[in-house]
Amino acid sequence: MKSKQVEKNVLYNARSMFELVSDVEKYPLFVPACKSLKIINKYEKEEITYIDATMRVGYGILNEFFTSHITINKHNFTIDVVNKDGPFVKLNNYWKFEDEKQGCKIKFNIEFEAKQSLTGSIINLMFEKVFLKYMDAFEKRAHQIFK
């Protein structure tokens, strides 16, 4: 299993960045390799939104679908994503947004293990490259929206 943890300070406040990352339906517009995203189920209870969504990812010859359960906590500014199916044994990620004096700190953690298959081998090889592009995409999107 691979994992990565990143902490990054950005110029925008925690609420703005949280809302940007929470808006999963817009991911196909700016997230690398995200070709489509379909909400299967969405419901809210108090300050928590629960979403089941299927994402189609494509990168080179790779074209896969996977479904995740997403928990968006508006009170704590956290997002928890747990993989339900697809080419992964495990693909979980966690976001936390904290206000700072100037902007906010974003904490991102991802745990990842691809199934043993040709697709899994390709995914394992591309993990680092795609991960870096993935993180940059959210900051670039923030610059486009908030400036």
Each domain of the chain, given as residue ranges in start order, spans: 2-146
d(CA 106, CA 45): 25
Q: Supply angle C-alpha 96, 97, 103, rounded to 5.
A: 155
Fold of 2-146: Alpha-D-Glucose-1,6-Bisphosphate; Chain A, domain 4 (3.30.530)
DSSP letter, residue 72: E
pLDDT in tens, 41-70: 999 999 999 999 999 988 777 788 999 999
Q: Are 115 and 89 in contact (CB under 8 A)?
A: yes
Largest CA-CA distance found in the chain, in angstroms, rounded = 47
| Token pair listed for 54 | 């299927």
pTM greater than 0.85 (yes/no): yes
pLDDT in tens, 79-121: 999 999 877 778 899 999 999 999 999 999 988 777 676 555 5
